[in-house]
Structure 1
């Protein structure tokens, strides 16, 4: 059944080992670097109980109330419902968060499509994926994704490196498999569990590999250690960095120090065919909510740039309007790819309705590869004041405040306080450490750019263009694609 925010918080108090800035975190729900994002996820749980949102956030199944975001997609309406739920969340919290469950549960759905691959290894493993998908839905589990290994010196083969540079199985027991290694992961320290699967790589080198492992890891399990990067929240006033202080999704190097994975949590191991399948289909569904987030980032850039132009009276200049139009084209390009991928959705091998694959993956390439250019256009439209404006303390202090209020007031409508707030928001969206971090996250969170392009190539139907040119060029009917 759907959880409440407090039930989610209590579930995090399971003795998990978390480190940040050289200190052990005793309570992730109250630590200043984690509390804001934990509160956002808790708010999402509470929205499912809120009469104002309940109909958009939940659905009934077998007399149970379940989260819409975790519902298996069987028809277009399921995707429309997810869009509406995400929209409700983003508008309620007033920002953009990515790793909150819906962007990672789709990776489990792609495994569901590969049940035959899993069954060829062991029938138990294919049954495990069905049970876990149901458990996530029934128990409203905050589920994330463990993907990238440290890897070490990649000029060497995995067997010639320190074996712990990639997660691997060290032994089997009656209770399950034991794994060692580490993964970098967003949100792991405040999630319930993670889907651990192989990293990007060539999985045809050997028939069996200790590195070819996929399983569920409980984030509070013995031997799991979360070593987090420094957080952005709490380092400065929210008045100066409103996004950093509320929406920082903290990453961790998650160390697996001889962690026991019960057999019921194992999807595959020592099977390179399964690893190859997982990597090729991993983002079949999850790319959609991932790209959807960039639609909201685009809206924030458009809104910030246009408010700035209206504050300064430059919104009627053609050159300004053209740059804003560039941002609009970026936004609508993302929207078009998402809309088309659902309108032309395809039936998956497992019977689910997946977004049209080449349209979705092409949309991901467009959204991710152009983000840095759009951020620069938004910076141009906001001007140099986003990097030179003093902080809120200076506006409030005697001596400096009167001068800042004088020179930052634009007219009767736009006084210094609103001007400062907009510039602080723009700085945090486009220029801050948080902004730079988010840009890098977007570029690598699901895969590096070459993998995005590979997904487009592998999913596109080339028969149409090949046949068109064969006929137009008068090539022999014997020529086949």
Structure 2
């Protein structure tokens, strides 16, 4: 049931329409902008077949062997197993990637929890989601998420402008629905399928709307066109930009030009209540792996900053240690929220085990909102040389080679090449175009900050603080009814 890397590559050689920098891509697996990240996803598939990793990355049942990332979480051990699996992958690839499937498949689990809502509309929709979840488990597809529309003029409802600014249904047929519009979606060009869902606020008081639609889009389906942003891979040498050239996850504008979604692939259609439900619970599970990725980013910042301090002999200074402690508090804050969300995990309406919601969402806010400040602290600790150091070619060739060897060698333990490598890594982590792209991506990849705050507000149980203050302040028992 688990795929190999080559099976994954062959699966995305399906004639899909992908465009990069104005040119049609013949084979996405070979294009320089996408090949590095496709190779990483293929490596993740191959690791499942590696005897040294199989026990960590897979599980077995009567139907066969499956990816641990796709297993429905029903007990605390399931979440610890998923965390351990992410540890294993990140350690093997020696870097951080976010949109590789495990953080998006959880969005369908939220619909699994909402089957009662779906049944009120059409029992077929409930059956569709259960079947698709099982299908992801059994076929091990690379499943991603189609989230944000172009939206156009946000002061106007979609009906008062070009309707394609938000994905909508234009026609019903015996085979399914025909949709038009577009979605911004990371990894679309090299994924198998996407969960298409509506954007927040696509309707007001309507009970029915052609913009309230959710289902599965196959990336190779007729009418699906994927236009990539310009990739970071290949825009500089691997020696100078080691992260951008290996871990860049390419984003796409996925255009849906009269695309047929078969009825069996539709999870909800027209009913705004179902659409609102999924938007309100969308990140119930997926916020965990998303926030977990930032734990490794924190480790990278701590490691880069501390190695620099050790290289330059500044690690003994109290001021340096205090800044490192700030980074450690950020890192351990993420760790604490994730750990607590498992320890206090809650049963979901569908009988799954979801991380404690308000603790998880608060952890996501901590990780995302503080990242810009933490990156700046790491920059300070790495110093100004991350923005002025010459290229690797200058260290290796010509008359500049000897001068750079002289000024970048610190002592017998730290010679110029190791110094250059660390500075290049820190620059790509903290200061490059790729670093700034990743920072912006983190701030919006699971909705903007105000949505993070709204999710935390909606998940928190205010009855405890209200009752405590009612008793402590001696308020009348009559206020109980207002809780």
Bin for the TM-score computed over the shorter chain: over 0.9
Aligned to 1:158: 158
Contact 2:158 2:202 in 1 (8 A): no
Q: How does 1:294-313 map to 2 (within 5 A)?
A: 294-313=294-313
Q: Which runs of 4+ in 1 moved over 6 A?
A: none
2:126 equivalent to 1:129: no
For normalisation by structure 1, the TM-score amounts to 0.99
2:313 equivalent to 1:349: no
Contact 1:203 1:276 in 2 (8 A): no
Q: Deviation of residue 63 (structure 1)?
A: 4.5
Q: Distance in 2 between matches of 1:134 and 1:105?
A: 11
Gaps of 5+ in 1: none
- The 3-state SS of whatever aligns with 2:65 is strand
Q: Deviation of residue 318 (structure 1)?
A: 0.3
Contact 2:4 2:46 in 1 (8 A): yes
Aligned to 1:57: 57
Q: Deviation of residue 127 (structure 1)?
A: 0.1
Q: Distance in 2 between matches of 1:305 and 1:419?
A: 13
Aligned to 1:479: 479
Q: 1:223-271 deviations in whole A, cap 9, x for unaligned?
A: 0000000000011111000000000000000000000001100011111
Contact 2:188 2:254 in 1 (8 A): yes
Q: Distance in 1 between matches of 2:100 and 2:409?
A: 39
Aligned to 1:80: 80
2:448 equivalent to 1:429: no
- The 3-state SS of whatever aligns with 1:478 is helix
Q: Distance in 1 between matches of 2:180 and 2:205?
A: 21
Aligned to 2:293: 293
Q: How does 1:69-468 map to 2 (within 5 A)?
A: 69-201=69-201, 203-468=203-468
Q: Deviation of residue 202 (structure 1)?
A: 6.1
- The 3-state SS of whatever aligns with 2:170 is strand
Contact 1:58 1:68 in 2 (8 A): yes
For normalisation by structure 2, the TM-score amounts to 0.99
Q: 1:281-325 deviations in whole A, cap 9, x for unaligned?
A: 000000000000000000000000000000000000000000000
- The 3-state SS of whatever aligns with 1:179 is strand
Q: How does 1:5-84 map to 2 (within 5 A)?
A: 5-84=5-84
Contact 1:38 1:190 in 2 (8 A): yes
Q: Distance in 2 between matches of 1:268 and 1:467?
A: 39
Q: Deviation of residue 119 (structure 1)?
A: 1.1
Q: Deviation of residue 26 (structure 1)?
A: 0.8
Q: 1:350-376 deviations in whole A, cap 9, x for unaligned?
A: 000000000000000110000000000
Q: Distance in 2 between matches of 1:258 and 1:364?
A: 36
Contact 1:203 1:273 in 2 (8 A): no
Q: Deviation of residue 203 (structure 1)?
A: 4.4
Q: Distance in 1 between matches of 2:89 and 2:178?
A: 38
Q: Deviation of residue 204 (structure 1)?
A: 4.2
Q: Distance in 2 between matches of 1:206 and 1:20?
A: 39
Q: Distance in 2 between matches of 1:201 and 1:455?
A: 15
Q: Distance in 1 between matches of 2:204 and 2:255?
A: 27
Q: State the Cα RMSD in Å.
A: 0.6
Q: Deviation of residue 349 (structure 1)?
A: 0.1
Gaps of 5+ in 2: none
Q: 1:67-96 deviations in whole A, cap 9, x for unaligned?
A: 001100000000010001000000000000
Contact 1:203 1:275 in 2 (8 A): no
Q: Distance in 2 between matches of 1:24 and 1:235?
A: 19
Q: Deviation of residue 121 (structure 1)?
A: 1.0
Paired positions, count:
481
Q: Deviation of residue 2 (structure 1)?
A: 0.1
Q: Distance in 2 between matches of 1:203 and 1:216?
A: 21
